[in-house]
Amino acid sequence: MVNKNVNEKTSLGYENKEPSVSFLDSLLLGEWEDRVQRGLFRYDVTACETKVIPGDYGFIAQLNEGRHLKKRPTEFRVDKVLQSFDESKFNFTKVGQEEVLFQFEPSEDDEVQFFPNAPIDIENSPSVVAINVSPIEYGHVLLIPRILECLPQRIDRNSLLLALYMAAEAGNPYFRLGYNSLGAFATINHLHFQAYYLAVPFPIEKAPSRKITTLGGGVEVSEILNYPVRGLVFEGGNSLEDLSNAVSDSCICLQDNNIPYNVLISDSGKRIFVFPQCYAEKQALGEVSPELLDTQVNPAVWEISGHMVLKRKKDYEEASEENAWRLLAEVSLSEDRFQEVKALIFEAIISDSDENECVAESLLEDPDAATQSLKEVDALYKSSQPAMVPGKQECLVLD
């Protein structure tokens, strides 16, 4: 068991804590390697060919034929982001005990502790880290918050904060966590985050962005520029909890409005990317070209971030920046729709935070910047008025 204080108010993750950083890394990889030796994975991911595609962005291509053939099929509707947990479908309470690496829990103090063979507290459902038996990369694991509560795949404040603490505790820039909502290529309706190591920058991490505003708690929100998938970046904040709250409120807004989305937790939990997407809707409407459909690539968080997991040797051999861009452009909301969704998100965030106090403080420091920020938010509100029309949804049924 690894304990981490999830209720901490200080800026954990913004300090360098060498002992805990190296410990979680070595624990996770050591346990993962042990499961490799036990033969628990469906294929050897280290044997998959991988290359960086030439070009400005450095998209990464991987040929992973085994994942396509052996991954569990999706067992639920893709037109609804929020669906009830169904115990008759596959869920993580059905995985073998040997697949679980360790528990990852809040502690009562600011210390990281490890308890070998710690008993599972059934009354206080543990959060666990388990292997992904169909891995994409080295060290591919699942973080499953409060596993015995059988929560459906929907982000809440506590679960996202737990994921950020795991990223901060690992302290490794090559260890990222990702989240896929239902309708955005999550394949299991049981709350979980994915994570793995990849020792190169993701293209999305190198994409430029334009700051939109600073929220209460010092969280900066920016819009991604010059990238095929439109999205938002959240970073900074007075504490990891401030950052987590802003992002989780955004995700809850998307969920409540039936908008599929993906999340990438980067830079040891200090930068978080949120991507509303509509690829499943376009598939259902017949708006995706046969050429792209033939690749059988379902663009989820890793593909959107620039790690293209390809299922056919032909696609791997012909991988190019142009082909990666073409696929990801189909994932993105249109500019108009993205502006509508962005306005919806800002309205939700600001209603759940003390934004007026934040702007008042900013006015004292930089009146021009704070006034401009407030004008931008106000403009977003106005543009959101016609955004949500009854019956209009971004994700339709995909048979």
Q: What is the pLDDT of residues 238-288, one digit of tens each?
A: 999 999 999 999 999 999 999 999 999 999 999 999 999 999 889 888 999
Total domain count for the chain?
A: 1
- Give the pLDDT score at 304: 98
**Can you give the pTM of this predicted structure?**
0.84
Q: Within 10 Å of residue 105's Cβ, how many Cβ atoms? A: 20
- Residue 91 falls within a domain, yes or no? yes
Distance (Å, rounded) from C-alpha 261 to C-alpha 275?
5
- Residue 392 falls within a domain, yes or no? no
241 closest CA partner among 99, 106, 48: 106
- How wide is the angle at C-alpha 173 spanned by C-alphas 167 and 177, nearest 5°? 40
Which is the catalytic residue, given 140, 190, 192, 307? 192
- Give the pLDDT score at 1: 64
- Give the pLDDT score at 7: 37
H helix or E strand, kind and range, residue 202: none
- Residue 108 falls within a domain, yes or no? yes
- Residue 39 falls within a domain, yes or no? yes
Confidence of residue 378 (pLDDT cuts 50, 70, 90): very low
Instruction: Give every CB contact of residue 51 below 8 A, 6+ residues apart in sequence.
Output: 60, 61, 319
Q: Where are the alpha helices (DSSP H) in the chain?
A: 18-37, 65-70, 157-170, 203-206, 240-256, 279-284, 290-294, 301-305, 313-317, 321-331, 335-351, 355-365, 367-384
- Residue 391 falls within a domain, yes or no? no
Helices (H) and strands (E) in the chain, counts: 13, 15
H helix or E strand, kind and range, residue 310: strand 307-310
Mean pLDDT over 337-343 rounds to 96
CATH of the domain at 142: 3.30.428.70
> Catalytic site residue 68?
no
In 39-190, at which residue ranges do the beta strands (DSSP E only) sit?
A: 50-52, 60-63, 100-105, 113-114, 128-131, 141-144, 175-180
- Residue 398 falls within a domain, yes or no? no
Phi-psi domain of 393 (left: phi exceeds 0; alpha: psi -120 through 50; beta: other): beta
- Give the pLDDT score at 139: 94
185: Cα within 13 Å, side-chain hemisphere: 22
- Residue 397 falls within a domain, yes or no? no
Domain region containing 211: 2-384
- Residue 362 falls within a domain, yes or no? yes
Q: What is the pLDDT of residues 179-229, one digit of tens each?
A: 999 999 999 999 999 999 999 999 999 999 999 999 988 999 999 999 999
Q: What is the pLDDT of residues 191-204, one digit of tens each?
A: 999 999 999 999 99
- 13 and 241 Cβ atoms separated by less than 8 Å: no
Lookup: tokens for 310:
């390809």
Of these ranges, 67-76, 239-248, 372-381, the one predicted with the greatest mean pLDDT is 239-248
